[in-house]
Amino acid sequence: MDSIRQEKVQRFEEFVDRRLKPDLARAIAERDKVFEQQKVFSDLKKNIENLEKNSVTSLRTLVNLGSEVYMQADVPDTRRIFVDIGLGFHVEFTWSEALNYIAAREEKLARFAKGLGNYSNCPKRGLTKGGLMYDRVTNLLIELMPKFQPLLCQHLHQEE
């Protein structure tokens, strides 16, 4: 009986190490990318609102060329801006068009981040309720819990 229990525990530990931990790491990295995108859009929105509020028609700024190398740039007309919409594409917007686009993207990113924040949706493939992997993990935990409960209680009493 002990060898069967040990085999099941080992299989579960392997499953956690090989499947759940990498899935969780990928989900956290994906969530962090979404949070960074939200910050970029929030900063862009604040900058556009500042330009509108202060009626700025031209400006001088530093542009990051990459690898933290900056170059001074003169912008003669700030009424139109280019916004990175993804996949290397940039669209020229007026301030109001850019704010509308940013609002739509922020809403979409917020919905996506909300889905990533829920632990059961984090590793989306296989761990959603009703999914095969979710059922396997649940069944294994249900099967192992009664067997390990005395050991867990004993361990907890030793710590006290």
Does residue 57 lie in a domain region?
yes
- 69 bridge partner residues: 66
pLDDT at 9 over 90: no
Count of domains in the chain? 1
Output the domain CATH number for residue 57: 1.10.287.370
C-alpha distance from residue 9 to each of 19, 42, 97 (Å): 15, 47, 57
C-alpha distance from residue 16 to each of 76, 101, 127 (Å): 57, 41, 12
Does residue 39 lie in a domain region?
yes
Is residue 93 classed as helix, strand or coil in its secondary structure? Answer: strand
Does residue 49 lie in a domain region?
yes
- How do residues 99-131 score in pLDDT, each as one tens digit? 999 999 999 888 887 776 554 444 444 444 445
Instruction: Compute the average pLDDT of residues 9-22.
Output: 81
- How do residues 35-55 score in pLDDT, each as one tens digit? 899 999 999 999 999 999 999
Does residue 86 lie in a domain region?
yes
DSSP state of 119: G
Tokens 């002990």 sit at which residue?
2
Identify each DSSP E strand in the chain by its residue range: 59-66, 69-75, 80-86, 89-94
Confidence band of 74 (pLDDT split at 50, 70, 90): very high
Does residue 52 lie in a domain region?
yes
Give CA–CA dist 143/35, Å, rounded: 38
Does residue 143 lie in a domain region?
no
Query: Whole domain around residue 51: which residue ranges?
Result: 1-119
Does residue 142 lie in a domain region?
no
Give CA–CA dist 83/73, Å, rounded: 17
Does residue 134 lie in a domain region?
no
| Per-residue pLDDT at 4 | 83
